């Protein structure tokens, strides 16, 4: 199975900060990776697919990069509604696997 190592597990940040989250895959997954945002009590929402393509409804302050085994999600200027937990998901080979999640909290 492909392991996804996501870091950090949590971070404290302020409105306006630039934030970067990383996912590392245990083997090459090409660009078969998505990023998701989840708020408490709600289902996840996809922000990025194919590692770097912005989902149509997602704000442009979110961006993704990477290929192969290392991927990043960047929020260029954190907004109040961005305080949430973020997950990566690889869909290169079954079983599909999520990263452990990154919780962004208000500093």
- Token pair belonging to 49: 């697919």
9 DSSP assignment: S
Q: How far is the CB of 85 from other proteins (least distance, A)?
A: 8
Question: By C-alpha distance, which of 28, 30, 26 is closest to 5?
Answer: 26
Residues 44-63 that bind other proteins (CB under 8 A): 44-46, 49-50, 55
Q: Say whether residue 43 binds other proteins (CB under 8 A).
A: yes
Q: Which residues bind other proteins (CB under 8 A)?
A: 1, 32-34, 36, 38, 42-46, 49-50, 55, 87, 89, 91, 94-101
């Amino acid at each position: 199975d492909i392991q996804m190592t996501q870091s950090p597990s949590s971070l404290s940040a302020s409105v306006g900060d630039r934030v970067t989250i990383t996912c590392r895959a245990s083997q090459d997954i090409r660009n078969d990776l998505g990023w998701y945002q989840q708020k408490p009590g709600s289902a996840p929402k996809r922000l990025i697919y194919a590692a770097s393509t912005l989902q149509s409804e997602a704000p442009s302050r979110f961006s993704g990069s990477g290929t192969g085994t290392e991927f990043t999600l960047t929020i260029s200027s954190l907004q109040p509604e961005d305080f949430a937990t973020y997950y990566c998901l690889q869909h290169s080979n079954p079983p599909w696997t999520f990263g452990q999640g990154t919780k962004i909290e208000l500093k």
